[in-house]
Structure 1
């Protein structure tokens, strides 16, 4: 049986793309395994190649080294579809002088939506915990990476915060509360969230429901399978909060 690492070493890596061996060298006998592993690692298949959103070599090296690379599980990264990103930005009602933050920048889909709605190269500040996304984010004119972890210590405040944070272990609750803390008075936050907090009887979720009521949050349900193209069927909603003095 051909080892996965042997097959990957036969492939050519350039930038963010892994090219399969030419047909003249014969097909990979374990192609289905190669395909499964690369797709799980975040690649998309395109014309005899697998394209990553960032530099491919570090990812391939990790796989060859025996790692199980699964960014969706590791970083809870589920890309914000363009139509949802555009909707979030529309709800934010961005003004020309607003300082804007994207707390979980991912591959920059929300950042790009902000620039589509305003102007190319508009400055957007952000955070991203997955360092493999940095190359992708660096290629977006106007994006300014402020740090690794949005939940860490910093003093920057913003007029608008637009986000799609991770959901697992109530991370969306933690992120939204932190967003509110760093939101300027008169500002608005718009965030995707799970719906788990709406039904759970645990104290954290109960307190979050009460807090949302206190800050007069608007809850907008999203259709089932909104994030299907990003690899998840988890139910979600949009939370909009204005921070009034």
Structure 2
């Protein structure tokens, strides 16, 4: 996000006291512009302190904004906090119980991990952005908080559960979920929020991922439309559940000559269900085409 010169001028007059940043007396319009930038940078207005309060000393951040004229927002990193209703469903599908070890990669500010810890589980968090990690460390509900790019972390199959809400852009969610499987015990369970595109995109990565989910005995569950509206995106989302290898292998024994049980995706479906799926896919394809046309139009306008 580019920062207007008048906002940068106001920041030059700001004062920092610990984690608090105080602006000088400004016009209402200019204050609003400054507030947008500071919130995007991770600051929260604190009425009692009469300042924007950050998870850490904002001096370095303030200097970076003034020198670059830009601020990197959480959304630039694909961060959209998990809404409470989605977090509840994630935890239900994760089948948590006290004492389980749980990894939360891309933990953000702990919208999911905090609830996992409250369920009596031992939680380890990985988070890319330092100011988010500082929030996790300060609250002390996690056993460990590692500041790192999750995709660069070496997999170790140490966890009973992996519960996650990864970034979605350009198939990043698929890469994150695939990488996360390497951290799961053989009898564990991975539960993740994903873009709905993972269930229908024709790309090689998406096609292979769907095959992996099916072969593992996993499944997708659609989330209600606009589930992430409160977090700033209208993207359609799903939850994927992927069991570990031993969990998949633990199927009931069959008597000789008995037909195997039908997989949930192999059961016969009614023509009306099939027609509804086709119409939904057509509608989503039309929305994507319209978004592409809008982007092209905006490019020509500028």
SS at structure 2 position matched to 1:96: coil
Task: Look up the match of 1:149.
Answer: 149
Q: What per-residue deviation string (whole Å, max 9, x for no partner) do you get for residues 138-190 of structure 1? A: 11224202451222224352111100001112111111112222211111111
Moved more, 219-228 or 26-35: 26-35
Q: Is the 8 A contact 1:89 1:117 kept in 2?
A: no
Task: Look up the match of 1:125.
Answer: 124
TM-score normalised to structure 2 length: 0.71
- Greater RCO (CA < 8 Å, at least 6 residues apart): 1
Q: RMSD between aligned alpha carbons?
A: 2.4
Task: Look up the match of 2:278.
Answer: none
Q: What per-residue deviation string (whole Å, max 9, x for no partner) do you get for residues 21-54 of structure 1? A: 3xxx463662232123223334344545434455
CA, structure 1 residues 233+69, in 2 after alignment: closer, same or farther (shift >3 Å)? same
Q: How many residues align?
A: 239
> Are 2:173 and 1:172 aligned?
yes
Q: Is the 8 A contact 1:54 1:134 kept in 2?
A: no
Q: Which consecutive unaligned segments of at least 5 residues does structure 1 have?
A: none
Rg (Cα) greater in structure? 2
CA, structure 1 residues 109+17, in 2 after alignment: closer, same or farther (shift >3 Å)? farther
Q: Which consecutive unaligned segments of at least 5 residues does structure 2 have?
A: 247-302
After TM superposition, give the deviation of residue 203 of structure 1 in Å. 1.1
> Are 2:78 and 1:76 aligned?
yes
CA, structure 1 residues 216+53, in 2 after alignment: closer, same or farther (shift >3 Å)? farther
TM-score normalised to structure 1 length: 0.85
CA, structure 1 residues 142+39, in 2 after alignment: closer, same or farther (shift >3 Å)? closer
Higher helix share: 2
* Selected match of 2:9 from 3, 6, 9: 6
